[in-house]
């Protein structure tokens, strides 16, 4: 019995801890019980949550939790030195630049080694006539998220926009806070640090809203995303040539919904868990598929990431403070880097390049052809047309995002263009009735009015603990009916 418990609590690469697993549910119940006892003991509470967060990361990536400690300690010390230099020697900008560069080298160096060594080696080695053999390098879960989060702290202090945290414990708490540790949102220190030592105020409204977001996340991830992935989408992308063009197209629509439900589902659960603990995270998704242009899409999709690359890459390159050609160049390079951030593959680079080109083209078209300002919104049929065009551009780019290689991407495109077979549409829909029903439900839910969400939160709030508990039990039961034997990690764990 004891051996089974120890095995369950030890890192297993085949069973990483997820918000949607029963292990996390049991651990979280015990965690909340102790957390409530420490409400008025701030230091003890921060230490307890930080320790739990490190254990949570250990259950995701094993011994590589030490990378989290390296990033935390180095940036805490370097940011403190940068701030003291600001205060005591304001004329020594060169010293501060060197300290910031050291922070960038440590954080991005770790990220580059674990995530991009094989990718760049595969490009360089053949140039010198060698044969590339991939090295066995483990990719720690969420390394891109916590390095970017920690970097924003150091850069903001360098820019004079932020003061250092009170202690190393506060900073470790900020970087490692488990709800958003492995897949975002990328929380800024300016938003989160002021909340750390405030008296906990998890109000009835916060609890109801937290439960609502957790319910939404569970349903999105475990019912819609996992089911359509295992029973349809993965089969299509494993070998597109085995399926007709209509099946490939429906699989592509399915993946477009799957990745939204998977990633926004994680964000919803992270936001909900943080609310239950008395903390506020920024919104990370805002119905992105209703966007009328690609610029609007990036204001609605993975908002914490898009604002991060805007503030720390695009603006650092010059942003809009340049000649027109340079502005378009900055947009393209920013999205190229954004694509590479998502994965060490030329497919991701191509995906980022397409989005960069689309952002640049839209900006030029809006300014020089339509003569619209940035706040212009189309209406009526024009809005419908713009939404459909934008949506299908996003769908098209996801071919490259999802495929393992360019060869697979071309196979999907070729099947859709040259082997479509529309006469099979009804047969495919009826043959995958459950999958198609969930895809339809997922897209319909995407267009539900915001007031429905607020109504649901108010209903949970009025129903109190009893209704909230019943809602959670019902959701867990529904998830269990769709659950597969194998754990389905969140898509963005690989990033």
The catalytic residues are 342
Burial of 305 (0-12, 13-18, 19+ CB in 10 A): buried
DSSP letter, residue 66: H
Burial of 194 (0-12, 13-18, 19+ CB in 10 A): exposed
Q: How many helices (H) and strands (E) does the chain have?
A: 22, 0
Buried b (16+ CB within 10 A) or exposed e, 352-377: bbbbbbbbbebbeebeeeeeeeeeee
For residue 47, how many other CB atoms are within 10 A of its CB? 15
For residue 348, how many other CB atoms are within 10 A of its CB? 20
Residue 457, CA distances (Å) to 214, 276, 478 in order: 12, 14, 20
DSSP for 431-487, written as a single string:
HTHHHHHHHHHHHHHHT--HHHHHHHHHHHHHHHHHHHHHHHHHHHHHHHHH--SS-
Buried b (16+ CB within 10 A) or exposed e, 266-292: bbbbbbbbbbbbbbebeebbeebbebb
Task: Give the residue among 293, 284, 286 at the shortest CA–CA distance from 375.
Answer: 293
Structure tokens at 195: 């909340």
Cβ atoms of 302 and 285 within 8 Å: the answer is yes
Handedness of CA 390, 395, 396, 401 (dihedral sign): positive
CA atoms within 13 A on the CB side of 483: 14
Place of tokens 């029903």: 437
Place of tokens 């820019």: 159
Ramachandran area for residue 380 (φ above 0: left; ψ -120 to 50: alpha; else beta): left
Cβ atoms of 254 and 228 within 8 Å: the answer is yes
Chain centroid, CA 127 distance in Å: 34
CA distance 469 to 184: 26
Cβ atoms of 487 and 231 within 8 Å: the answer is no
Task: Give the residue among 37, 35, 31, 59 at the shortest CA–CA distance from 46.
Answer: 35
Burial of 10 (0-12, 13-18, 19+ CB in 10 A): exposed
């Amino acid at each position: 019995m004891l051996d089974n418990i120890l095995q369950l609590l030890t890192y297993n690469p085949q069973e990483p801890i997820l918000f949607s697993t029963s292990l996390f549910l049991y651990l979280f119940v015990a965690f909340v019980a102790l957390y409530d006892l420490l409400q008025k003991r701030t230091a003890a509470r921060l230490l307890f949550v930080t320790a739990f967060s490190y254990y949570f990361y250990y259950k995701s990536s094993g011994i590589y939790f030490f990378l989290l400690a390296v990033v935390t300690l180095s940036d805490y010390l370097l940011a403190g030195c940068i701030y003291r230099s600001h205060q005591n020697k304001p004329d020594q900008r060169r010293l501060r630049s060197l300290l910031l560069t050291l922070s960038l080298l440590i954080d991005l160096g770790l990220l580059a080694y674990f995530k991009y060594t094989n990718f760049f080696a595969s490009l360089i080695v053949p140039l010198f006539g060698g044969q590339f053999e991939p090295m066995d390098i483990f990719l720690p879960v969420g390394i891109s998220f916590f390095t970017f989060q920690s970097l924003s702290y150091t850069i903001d202090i360098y820019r004079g926009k932020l003061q250092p945290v009170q202690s190393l414990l506060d900073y470790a708490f900020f970087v490692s806070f488990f709800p958003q540790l492995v897949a975002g949102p990328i929380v800024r220190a300016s938003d989160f640090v002021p909340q750390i030592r405030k008296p906990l105020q998890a109000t009835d409204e916060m609890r109801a809203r937290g439960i609502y977001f957790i319910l939404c996340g569970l349903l999105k991830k475990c019912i819609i995303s996992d089911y359509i992935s295992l029973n349809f989408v993965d089969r299509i992308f494993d070998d597109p040539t085995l399926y007709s063009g209509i099946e490939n197209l429906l699989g592509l629509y399915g993946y477009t919904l799957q990745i939204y439900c998977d990633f926004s589902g994680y964000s919803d659960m992270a936001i909900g868990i943080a609310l239950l603990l008395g903390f506020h995270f920024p919104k990370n998704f805002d119905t992105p598929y209703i966007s009328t242009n690609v610029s609007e899409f990036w204001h609605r999709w993975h908002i914490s990431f898009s604002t991060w690359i805007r503030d720390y890459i695009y603006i650092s390159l010059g942003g809009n403070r340049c000649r027109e050609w340079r502005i378009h160049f900055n947009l393209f390079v920013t999205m190229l880097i954004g694509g590479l951030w998502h994965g060490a593959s030329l497919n991701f680079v191509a995906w980022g390049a397409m989005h960069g080109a689309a952002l640049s083209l839209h900006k030029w078209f809006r300014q020089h052809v339509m003569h619209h300002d940035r706040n212009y919104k189309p209406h009526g049929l024009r809005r419908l047309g713009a939404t459909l065009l934008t949506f299908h551009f996003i769908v098209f780019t996801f071919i490259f995002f999802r495929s393992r290689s360019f060869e697979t991407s071309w196979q999907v495109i070729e099947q859709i263009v040259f082997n479509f077979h529309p006469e099979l549409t009804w047969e495919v829909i009826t043959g995958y009735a459950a999958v198609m029903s969930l895809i339809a439900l997922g897209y319909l839910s995407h267009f539900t009015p915001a007031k429905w969400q607020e109504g649901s939160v108010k209903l949970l709030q009025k129903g109190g603990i009893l209704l909230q508990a019943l809602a959670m039990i019902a959701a867990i039961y529904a998830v269990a009916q769709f659950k597969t034997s194998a754990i389905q990690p969140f898509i963005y764990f690989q990033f």
